[in-house]
Structure 1
Amino acid sequence: MHQVAELKVLYFGTPVVLIGSRNEDGSPNLAPMSSAWWLGDRCMLGLGNSGQTTANLRRERECVLNLVPSSMVDAVDRIALLTGAPEITEFKRERGYRSERDKFGAAGLTEQPADLVRAPRVQECPIQLECEVEAIHPLEGPDLRATAFQVRVLRAHVEDELIIPGTHYVDPLRWDPLIMKFCEFFGGGENIHPSRLAEGWKMPHRLEHALG
């Protein structure tokens, strides 16, 4: 039997992406997000308006989408409640966010130059997509201040071991993306790590985590 439910969160399961961008002073910024979907060589990115990445994409019109495997969940969780913005909104402050300019250092990840854009790649990510911003769409609502960025993939970098030999296809058996499902981390269909984001957003569930 179904019931009518006024759901507060609609993150049914989407891949985690680390968005590399450049700040106004040229320093690198790195932001985890999970509101992304692809069609052909285009991708739509949904970002809140108060974040540093949103400001960077508006100004620079480029980014790198670093796709995260489930094995990198620790690095993502370390920066889940960090923002590169110098000022933190009250909304984020209540959820435990703090300002941090060096996201690469906080995550323990390595900046790697891109070929076609100024935005940074993440060396540890096995799939990296260099992108340009094609269109910007405001998303407005009573409780929503966000932007949808339409980007085009200019170049893809993929680890050799993920490519099916003799093709230009990623092997789905070897690629295990980190999935964000209702603010919790999943890989291989299993909950794999506690989530600072879920704690900060006061999600009602308490999962039995694989790591303790």
Structure 2
Amino acid sequence: MSIVVDRHTRIEPNILYFGTPVVLISSTNEDGTPNLAPMSSAFWLGWRAMLGLGARAKTAHNLVRTRECVLNLPSDALASAVDRLALTTGSDPVPERKWERGYRHVADKFERAGLTAVASETVAPPRVAECPVNMEAVVEAVHPVGDDGGVLAFEVRVQRVWVHEEIRMAGTDDRVDPDAWRPLIMSFQKLYGLGPQVHPSTLARIPERMYRPDEDLERARALQ
């Protein structure tokens, strides 16, 4: 019997952000102005997404109140624009915990980031023109995370998906070209790009259409 040496070391990381796409969430403030906030605690299932946000964050307050948002996915080329939003908040006054971490209030996040707001079709918050992917979404459920209520998990349902032409797979209206799409990735508070494919995927043999969420797509198509 062969003996395998375990190369692992037990540690207690302060955070477990091993690498997820950056999302710029646009939402609507009480006065009707847009808020724009970067986050990376997100994953997708069909045409739904789960978003993890601090309960005291301005974006969380807006989502609870209005039940809608836009999920804008920046490419790695937009890293500097995303970074200009770091340590900013739409909350005024700045929550104490954020103040302690160096955050400051910024009313116009689009101007701060140097990004352009464009009108959405099914929700009030604007889309980000420079982001290659925009997803208009509505909140379906809000789930408290943990015992202290400091984090909320938002289940959102996507109603429209918009992409830049250069990342759409040629000749299709239902596929993104993964070789052309270069998402911005957050890993342990640092920004990275996505490298080229490293190995063929057996899962890629399954046609993407077999994963289509028919019920949510029909609801999205019914919106005018």
TM-score (normalizing by structure 2) = 0.82
Is 1:173 the counterpart of 2:183? The answer is no
| Structure (1 or 2) with the greater strand fraction | 1
- Matches of 1:141 and 1:3, distance apart in 2: 29
Q: How does 1:67-86 map to 2 (within 5 A)?
A: 67-86=73-92
Question: One-letter code of the match for 1:47?
Answer: L
The percentage of counterpart residues that share the same residue type is: 54
Match of 2:153 among 148, 152, 162: 148
- Between Structure 1 and Structure 2, whose CA radius of gyration is higher? 2
Is 1:89 the counterpart of 2:95? The answer is yes
- Matches of 2:135 and 2:34, distance apart in 1: 16
- Matches of 1:79 and 1:34, distance apart in 2: 13
Cα RMSD over matched residues? 1.3
Runs of 4+ in 1 over 3 A off after TM superposition: none
The equivalent of 2:104 in structure 1 is 98
SS of the aligned residue for 2:110 comes to: helix
**Structure 2 stretches of 5 or more lacking a match?**
1-6, 196-224
Q: CA deviation at 1:112?
A: 0.7
Deviations 1:145-181 (A, max 9, x none): 1100000000100111111112221001110000000
Q: How does 1:11-22 map to 2 (within 5 A)?
A: 11-22=17-28
- Matches of 2:12 and 2:70, distance apart in 1: 35
SS of the aligned residue for 2:146 comes to: strand
- Matches of 2:29 and 2:39, distance apart in 1: 17
Question: One-letter code of the match for 1:153?
Answer: V
TM-score (normalizing by structure 1) = 0.86
Q: CA deviation at 1:188?
A: 3.0
The equivalent of 2:69 in structure 1 is 63
Q: CA deviation at 1:3?
A: 1.7
Is 1:46 the counterpart of 2:52? The answer is yes
The equivalent of 1:5 in structure 2 is 11
Give the total of aligned pairs. Answer: 189
The equivalent of 1:160 in structure 2 is 165
Q: CA deviation at 1:51?
A: 1.0
- Matches of 1:128 and 1:16, distance apart in 2: 12
The equivalent of 2:33 in structure 1 is 27
Is 1:187 the counterpart of 2:196? The answer is no
